[in-house]
């Protein structure tokens, strides 16, 4: 909570994007999360990404379940659509929204509790279906909203605030998504916007489900010594596998040349991802290699970050697969949306 | 700004906020004010309805809040932070008047002359604001202060040049009296005609606050052919004050477009002139008069004519009938210099001409062989810090020191000269200036609760209501500005951004969560790897820090990443959200109180 609303004043040199909007036009209400919560930095990164991509607020849908993480949707793009579903049900509600209106930019926000416990099945099937959405998992190792119980992402040996160590093996959403055929898998850190913002932009642009696991420390219940999801631990154990530059459509590629190899990935809308692996030989388009890399890091107690795997184009997103029309269902003329009993009779006839 | 060479952890040029100048500069108005009045402090007191306290806080630094609340040149306002974010700055000056107008009886809170004298005698020449300030500061310390004034009353130009429709006489009388009643010995109608003679009277120190009393001449053909119809502005205004001039012919030309010209043209309107024109040599952007004075004159239907240079007084049969002008066109040459060409000649008919083209100093009464050196333009050589002339024990201040300025500068000079005189009389080195000090105290009252109102007031600058256009001309003593209503004052004080409530950073506490950076409405904050020089760092911030007049704060290296916290002070609105969102109180909001040295209080600081 803060005592006042953000003053409606702007930096005199505040720039506008292609839609004539300022960065602050992408803000939402004032956060009621704890001061210093990682989730608020994710919010700031989302605002930055949406502004830079010049997303029209009215075509964005912010979807979430329950948790501190789920409150994030209230804090950005106040003019956009939003849906707070039941705990863990964000993926299915988003699946419906994405099917009903293919023009929506679906931004799903979830937590490690929301996605890896009650909503684990939901998440798995959304990944399998390759729903066209950005799936941000704000991962803090605890159920923040219900006062800090271990979540399914807590590492073995990571201690609670009172010093009790977690005994159960963690679920790593990145490994899970890779094994389920996800077409875009990344991990980042709320405290590193330089890494996070381009990943979010790439994820929004990706055609299909883009899973971004963001380590987002809970300052209140999981930022102590002994926690493996604290600011300090993440900073000292993070190993970036791939750096991402996002080059929007119609922009000259004016990125600083790097010494190592560069992998360019063309996005379906004409923009470009320029990926710079930290270690020579890492190939972010090779699923098996990505899986192995994350496992190897895990074994060393390191946190693999960056855009770890991307497959743009070889697979289809859900609506393509289902051959849904390009226009939103609400724009279809009634006759097409509901062809009538004669059409139904004809269909039934085919199965006789 | 002060930078300490090496951070505790890294080779970082860390901003030294223990130097009072750093936070002082953040308080833009207070920094710009020659007397460094605590503006946000008194605005908050007004907001609380504590007018007496607001008045007393003002008086401490500027001595004449009621006078200045109407007449100050207000260098604070163009400097005001609000002006960089909103269209217009806070109406600081007119709020000073609110404090003065609404105060109760504060006489028992005024400083008093010392019961016990220290045996030192000081002479002041002239009873303008400079001398009165010297007396104000020295009387409580036990000095005998004698003020010699050639006219019958105190106040200097504030009395006989600033017209009563801008400054009512009772306001002036009252605030001069607050000083005089402390025990100044007033010698009215006593012009000093010889400095030598004055020095021979054995004073321990002499302060010259005699102003810049001579209006500039315009010696063109015909100037002396009808002398009764041509007046020097400041003399003419004084003649109005003393009742020597009561009526004017219908047509009047004012030459010059500074603040004196504005007072002349508006006074002319009140003495029966109907056709009043102010004529300027150059275009509007070069006018010396303050914007608000120009607006007030134009509201009174005074015509302002640009690009006319007087060339001849037209006199027929011993009567002035007009003034001839070269009509100019200004162009800029390659080097950026303005050049004029004469387009044609033009005669503007008139019944009177008033010359308002500047003032000179004149010291015919100071002998040139008594150790007081005079330099260029017959001006005394005066030290900029000590205000001492080349003769020990003789000090200058106000307009007498370096030419015409304004009241608030005269006051600022008076305070400094008093410090010097006190040091001199105690046998200390006058060149050793007492330092400024400060206190910082947290304004945190609890979680997200502050001892100041941090919410942002969106109201626009309040408009001053003016006396009706027909009523105001009935008498020259009718004050034009009516002052703010209580509602207007309440709204206007809330426009202040509380720049003295400083964002204060403690690097070792920061966990680099970015909350402050993210919440800042004006993108003042950045956490970045340290880069030097500072100009390069300025470019790398959340919003590039392009206003080089404003400081950039650089912290010690942060514990987790060794990056630094950088704050561009330029457009911080002091909303306190950074401190509210900081989980560790690495950012705190602290009230900065500047401790200015005054005579006799030098040691209290630090
Ligand atoms: C028309 C006009 C309008 C102005 N309006 C404003 C305004 O709105 N706001 C503002 O801030 N400033 C204004 N000023 C400027 C301001 O009045 C002066 O800068 C200020 O009064 C200077 O103060 P001072 O104490 O140095 O001298 P002064 O105010 O000039 O006082 C000097 C005093 O010394 C006396 N004196 C001079 N010589 C002798 C002598 N030999 N013996 C004895 N006594 C002597 C004079 O009679 C006078 O009383 C205005 C000036 C003019 C001319
Ligand atoms: C059906 C249901 N079961 C349980 C809860 C209680 N509950 C609320 S939030 C939450 C966990 C949230 O954890 P996470 O998704 O990690 O979000 P965080 O608060 O950590 O950001 C739980 C179990 C609920 N609201 N609804
Ligand atoms: S409890 Fe934890 S997750 Fe929830 S708002 Fe506070 S810091 Fe964030
Ligand atoms: S007080 Fe803090 S949050 Fe508010 S404008 Fe200043 S730096 Fe930004
Ligand atoms: S909010 Fe506080 S702890 Fe977080 S980055 Fe800012 S100063 Fe550091
Ligand atoms: Mg959680």
Judging by beta carbons within 10 Å of its beta carbon (0-12, 13-18, 19+), is residue B463 exposed, middle or buried? exposed
pLDDT (0 to 100) of residue B274: 92
Average pLDDT (A277-287) is: 90
Q: Which domains does chain B have, with CATH numbers?
A: 3-24+498-604 (no CATH), 33-109+458-494 (no CATH), 121-213+361-425 (3.50.50.60), 215-357 (3.50.50.60)
**Closest approach of chain B CAs to the CA of A47, in angstroms?**
10
Alpha carbons B366 and B384: distance in angstroms, whole number: 20
Write the CA distances from B528 to A39, B542, B567, integer angstroms.
21, 10, 11
**What is the count of residue pairs from A and B with beta carbons less than 8 Å apart?**
104
3-state SS track over chain A? CCCCCCCCCCCCCCCECCCCCEHHHHECCCCCCCCCCHHHHHHHHHHHHHHHCCCCHHHEEEEECCCCHHHHHHHECCCCEEEECCCCCHHHHHHHHHHHCCCCEEEEEEEHHHHHHHCHHHHHHHHHHCCCEEEEEEECCEECCCCCEECCCCCCCCECCCCCECCCCCCCHHHHHHHCCCCEEEEEECCCHHHHHHHHHHHHHCCCEEEEEEECCCCCCCCCCCCCCCHHHHHHHEEEEEEEEEECCCCCCCCCCCCCCCEEEECCCCCEEEEEECCCCCCCCCHHHHHHHHHHHHHCCCEEEEEEEECCCCCCCHHHHCCCCCCCHHHCCHHHHCCCHHHHHHHHHHCC
pLDDT digits over B386-416, tens only?
A: 999 999 999 999 999 999 999 999 999 999 9
Alpha carbons B94 and B106: distance in angstroms, whole number: 20
User: Cβ contacts (< 8 Å) between B549 and chain A: which residues?
Assistant: none
Per the listing, tokens 């990164």 go with: A45
What residues contact B18, with CB distance under 8 A and at least 6 apart? none
Tell which one of B27, B515, B522 to mutate to probe ligand 4, the residue whose CB is within 8 A of the most ligand atoms.
B522
Classify residue A33: in a domain, yes or no: yes
Residues in chain A, total: 352
Residue B341 and residue B328: Cα distance in Å, rounded?
6
Indicate the number of domains in chain A: 1
Q: What is the pLDDT of residue B1?
A: 42
CATH number of residue A141's parent domain? 3.40.50.970
Of the candidates B174, B147, B145, B142, the residue with the CA atom closest to the CA atom of residue B158: B174
CB–CB of A35 and B511 under 8 A?
no
pLDDT of residue B89: 97
Is the CB of residue B381 less than 8 Å from the CB of residue B281?
no
Give me the pLDDT at residue B361, please.
83
- Residue A164 has a pLDDT of 96
Q: How far apart are CA B184 and CA B193, in angstroms?
A: 21
Confidence class for position B11, pLDDT limits 50, 70, 90: low
pLDDT at B374 over 70: yes
Q: Which of A198, A215, A33, A61 is nearest to A136 (CA)?
A: A215
Which atom belonging to ligand 2 lies closest to the Cα atom of A216? 21
Rg over CA atoms, chain B = 27
Angle made by CA atoms A305, A308, A310, in degrees to the nearest 5: 150
Q: Write down the pLDDT at residue B214.
A: 86
What is the Å distance from ligand 5's center to B511 Cα?
Answer: 6
The parent domain of residue A295 ranges over 23-329
Domain-located, residue A12: no
Mean pLDDT score across all residues of chain A: 95
Q: Which pLDDT belongs to residue B5? A: 40
Residue A39, domain member (yes or no): yes
Under the banding of pLDDT at 50, 70 and 90, the label for residue A300 is: very high
A213 found inside a domain: yes
Averaged pLDDT, A201-219: 97
Q: How far apart are CA B304 and CA B287, in angstroms?
A: 11
Q: What is the mean pLDDT of residues B553-559?
A: 96
Mean residue pLDDT across chain B = 94
pLDDT grade for B424, boundaries at 50, 70 and 90? very high
Q: How far is CA B404 from CA A346, B37, B240, in A?
A: 100, 21, 21
**A267-281, B179-193, B525-539: segment of lowest average pLDDT:** A267-281
The distance of A181 to chain B (nearest Cα, Å) reads: 33
Going from the Cα of B367 to the center of ligand 1, the distance in angstroms, rounded, reads: 22
CB atoms within 10 A of CB B563: 18
Of A9, A36, A219, Cβ closest to residue B85 = A9
User: With an 8 Å Cβ cutoff, are B560 and A2 in contact?
Assistant: no
Nearest by CB to A11, which of B456, B523, B577?
B523
Phi, psi dihedral angles at B342 (to 5 degrees): -85, 120
Q: Nearest by CB to B583, which of A11, A13, A35?
A: A35
- Burial of A239 from C-beta contacts in 10 A (0-12 / 13-18 / 19+): middle
CA angle B255/B259/B264 to nearest 5° reads 55
**Dihedral of alpha carbons A286, A288, A290, A292, sign:** negative
Q: What are the residues of chain B with a beta carbon less than 8 Å away from any beta carbon of chain A?
A: 84-86, 448-450, 454-456, 458, 511-515, 517-519, 521-523, 543-544, 546, 560-561, 571, 573, 575-577, 580-584
**Do the chains contact at A223 and B511, CB–CB below 8 Å?**
yes
Angstrom distance (rounded) from CA B23 to CA B27? 7
Distance CA A125, CA A122 (A): 5
Residue A337 is assigned to a structural domain of this protein: no
Asked if the model's pLDDT at residue B46 lies above 60, the reply is yes
A4, A12, A38: residue with CB nearest B575: A4
Q: What is the mean pLDDT of residues B330-356?
A: 92
Q: How would you list the strands of the sheet with A184-189, edge to edge?
A: A81-84, A60-64, A105-111, A133-139, A209-215, A184-189, A303-310, A238-247, A272-277, A263-266
pLDDT-above-90 percentage for chain B: 87
Asked if A235 lies within 8 A of B86 by C-beta distance, the reply is no
pLDDT tops 50 at residue B312: yes
pLDDT digits (tens, 9 = 90+) for B288-311: 898 889 999 999 999 999 999 999
User: Regarding beta strands B564-568 and B525-528, do their DSSP bridges make them parallel or antiparallel, or are they unpaired?
Assistant: antiparallel
Tens-place pLDDT, residues B185-205: 999 999 999 999 999 999 999
pLDDT tens-place string over residues A151-184? 999 999 999 999 999 999 999 999 999 999 999 9
The confidence score (pLDDT) of residue B336 equals: 85
Q: Is residue A348 part of a domain?
A: no
Ligand 3 center from residue A98 Cα (angstroms): 29
Return the pLDDT at A313. Answer: 82
CB contact under 8 A, A8 and B454: no
Choose the residue to mutate in A33, A34, A87, A171 for probing ligand 2, maximizing ligand atoms within 8 Å of C-beta: A87
Ligand 2 closest atom vs CA A218 = 20
Chain A contacts to B (CB-CB under 8 A): 1-14, 24, 31, 34-38, 40-41, 43-44, 190-191, 193, 217, 219, 223, 231-232, 235
Q: Are B161 and B237 in contact (CB under 8 A)?
A: yes
Structure tokens at B247: 């009526």
- Give the Cα separation of A72 and A42 in Å (integer): 8
Determine contact, residues B582/B492, Cβ cutoff 8 Å: no
Confidence of residue A279 (pLDDT cuts 50, 70, 90): confident
Contacts of A1 in chain B (CB under 8 A): 448
What is the per-residue pLDDT across B69-110, written as a single tens digit (0 to 9) for each?
999 999 999 999 999 999 899 999 999 999 999 999 999 999
Please report whether residue A336 resides in a domain. Answer: no
Q: Which residue of B has its CA nearest to A32?
A: B581
Question: Cβ of B522 and A11 within 8 Å?
Answer: yes
Determine, yes or no, domain membership for A14: no
pLDDT level of residue A250 (50, 70, 90 thresholds)? low
How far apart are the C-alpha atoms of A69 and A77, rounded to whole Å?
16
Residues in contact with B236: Cβ distance below 8 Å, sequence separation at least 6, in sequence order: B245, B264, B354
Q: pLDDT value at position B41?
A: 98
Q: What is the pLDDT of residues B436-465, one digit of tens each?
A: 999 999 999 988 899 999 999 999 999 999
Q: How confident is the model at residue A314 (pLDDT cuts 50, 70, 90)?
A: confident
User: For chain B, what percent of residues have pLDDT higher than 70?
Assistant: 98
Tell me, in angstroms, the distance from the centre of ligand 1 to residue B432's CA.
29
Average pLDDT over residues B585-591: 97
What pLDDT is attached to residue B4? Answer: 44
| B542 contact partners, CB below 8 Å, separation of at least 6 | B517, B520, B523, B524, B525, B526
Q: Is the CB of B161 under 6 A from ligand 1?
A: yes
Q: For residue A41, which residues of chain B lie inside 8 Å, CB to CB?
A: 513-515, 518
Q: How far is the CA of B14 from the centre of ligand 4 (A)?
A: 20
Q: Which residues pair with A306 in a beta bridge?
A: A187, A242
Residue B102, SS3 per DSSP: helix
Between CA B592 and CA B24 the distance in angstroms is 8
- SS3 at position B287: coil
Structure tokens that stand for B15 in this block: 């901003």
The model's pLDDT over A73-116, given as tens digits with 9 standing for 90+, comes to 999 999 999 999 999 999 999 999 999 999 999 999 999 999 99
pLDDT at residue number B567: 98
């Amino acid at each position: 909570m803060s005592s006042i609303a953000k003053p409606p004043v702007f930096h005199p040199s505040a720039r506008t994007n292609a839609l004539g909007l300022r960065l602050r036009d992408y803000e939402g209400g004032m956060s009621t999360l704890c001061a210093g919560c990682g989730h608020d930095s994710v919010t700031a990164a989302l605002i930055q990404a949406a502004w830079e991509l010049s997303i029209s607020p009215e075509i964005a849908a912010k979807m979430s379940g329950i948790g501190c993480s789920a409150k994030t949707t209230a804090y950005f793009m106040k003019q956009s659509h939003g849906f707070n579903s039941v705990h863990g049900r964000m993926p299915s509600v988003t699946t419906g929204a994405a099917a009903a209106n293919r023009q929506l930019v679906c931004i799903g926000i979830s937590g490690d509790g929301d996605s890896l416990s009650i909503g684990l099945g939901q998440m798995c099937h959304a990944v399998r279906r390759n729903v066209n959405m950005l799936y941000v998992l704000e991962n803090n190792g605890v159920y923040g909203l219900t006062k800090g119980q271990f979540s399914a992402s807590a590492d073995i040996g990571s201690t609670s605030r009172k010093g009790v160590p977690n005994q159960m093996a963690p679920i790593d959403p990145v490994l899970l998504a890779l094994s389920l055929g996800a077409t875009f898998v990344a991990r980042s850190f709320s405290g590193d916007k330089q890494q996070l913002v381009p990943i979010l932009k790439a994820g929004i642009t990706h055609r299909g489900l883009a899973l971004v696991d963001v380590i987002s420390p809970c300052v209140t219940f999981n930022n102590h010594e002994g926690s493996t999801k604290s600011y300090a631990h993440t900073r000292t154990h993070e190993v970036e596998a791939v750096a991402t530059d996002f080059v929007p459509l119609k922009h000259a590629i004016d990125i600083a040349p790097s010494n190592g190899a560069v992998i360019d990935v063309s996005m379906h809308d004409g923009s470009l991802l320029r990926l710079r692996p930290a270690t020579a030989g890492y190939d972010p388009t090779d699923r098996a290699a990505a899986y192995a890399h994350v496992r190897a890091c895990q074994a060393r107690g390191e946190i693999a970050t960056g855009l770890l795997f991307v497959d743009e184009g070889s697979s289809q997103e859900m609506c393509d697969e289902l051959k849904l029309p390009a226009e939103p269902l609400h724009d279809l003329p009634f006759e097409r949306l509901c062809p009538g009993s004669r059409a139904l009779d004809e269909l039934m006839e085919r199965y006789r | 700004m002060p930078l300490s060479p090496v951070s505790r952890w890294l080779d970082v040029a860390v901003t030294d906020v223990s130097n009072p100048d750093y936070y002082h500069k953040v308080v833009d108005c207070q920094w710009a004010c020659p007397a460094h009045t605590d503006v946000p402090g008194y605005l908050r007191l007004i907001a609380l309805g504590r007018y007496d306290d607001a008045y007393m806080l003002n008086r401490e630094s500027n001595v004449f809040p009621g006078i200045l609340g109407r007449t100050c040149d207000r260098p604070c306002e163009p400097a005001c932070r609000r002006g960089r974010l909103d269209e217009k700055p806070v109406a600081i000056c007119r709020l000073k008047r609110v404090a003065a107008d609404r105060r109760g009886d504060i006489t028992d809170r005024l400083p008093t002359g010392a019961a016990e004298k220290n045996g030192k005698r000081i002479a002041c020449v002239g009873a303008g604001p400079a001398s009165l300030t010297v007396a104000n500061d020295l009387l409580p310390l036990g000095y005998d202060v004698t003020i010699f004034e050639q006219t019958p009353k105190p106040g200097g130009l504030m009395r006989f040049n600033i017209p009563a429709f801008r400054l009512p006489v009772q306001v002036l009388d009252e605030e001069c009296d607050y000083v005089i009643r402390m025990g100044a010995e007033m010698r009215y109608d006593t012009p000093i005609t010889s400095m030598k003679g004055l020095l021979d009277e054995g004073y321990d120190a002499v302060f010259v606050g005699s102003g810049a009393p001579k209006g500039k001449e315009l010696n063109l053909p015909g100037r002396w052919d009808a002398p009764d119809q041509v007046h020097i502005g400041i003399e003419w205004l004084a003649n109005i004050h003393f009742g020597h001039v009561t009526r004017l012919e219908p047509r009047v030309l004012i030459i010059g477009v500074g603040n004196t010209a504005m007072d002349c043209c508006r006074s002319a309107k009140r003495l029966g002139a109907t056709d009043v024109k102010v004529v300027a040599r150059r275009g509007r952007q070069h006018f010396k008069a303050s914007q608000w004075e120009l607006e007030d004159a134009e509201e009174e239907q005074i015509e302002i004519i640009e690009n006319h240079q007087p060339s001849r007084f037209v006199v027929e049969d011993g009567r002035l009938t007009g003034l001839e002008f070269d009509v100019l066109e200004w162009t800029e040459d390659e080097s950026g210099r303005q050049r004029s060409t004469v387009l044609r000649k033009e005669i503007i008919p008139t019944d009177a001409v008033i010359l308002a083209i500047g003032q000179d100093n004149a010291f015919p009464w100071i002998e040139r062989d008594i150790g007081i050196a005079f330099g260029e333009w017959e001006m005394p050589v005066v030290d900029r810090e000590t205000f001492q002339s080349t003769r020990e024990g003789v000090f200058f201040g106000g307009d007498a020191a370096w030419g015409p300025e304004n009241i608030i500068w005269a006051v600022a000079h008076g305070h400094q000269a008093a410090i010097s005189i006190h040091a001199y009389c105690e046998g200390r080195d006058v060149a050793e200036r007492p330092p400024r000090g400060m206190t910082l105290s947290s304004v945190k009252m609890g979680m997200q609760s502050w001892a100041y109102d941090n919410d942002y007031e969106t109201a626009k600058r309040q408009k001053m209501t003016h006396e009706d256009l027909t009523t105001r001309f009935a008498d020259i003593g009718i004050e034009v500005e009516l002052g703010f209503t209580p509602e207007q004052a309440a709204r206007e004080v809330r426009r202040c951004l509380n720049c003295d409530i400083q964002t204060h950073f403690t690097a070792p506490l920061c966990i680099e969560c970015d909350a402050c950076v993210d919440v800042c409405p004006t993108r003042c904050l950045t956490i970045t790897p340290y880069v030097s020089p500072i100009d390069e760092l300025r470019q790398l911030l959340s919003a590039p820090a392009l206003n080089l007049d404003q400081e950039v704060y650089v912290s010690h290296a942060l514990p987790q990443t060794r990056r630094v916290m950088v704050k561009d002070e330029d457009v911080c609105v002091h909303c306190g959200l950074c401190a509210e969102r900081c989980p560790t109180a690495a950012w705190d909001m602290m009230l900065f109180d500047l401790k200015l040295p005054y005579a006799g209080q030098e040691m209290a600081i630090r």
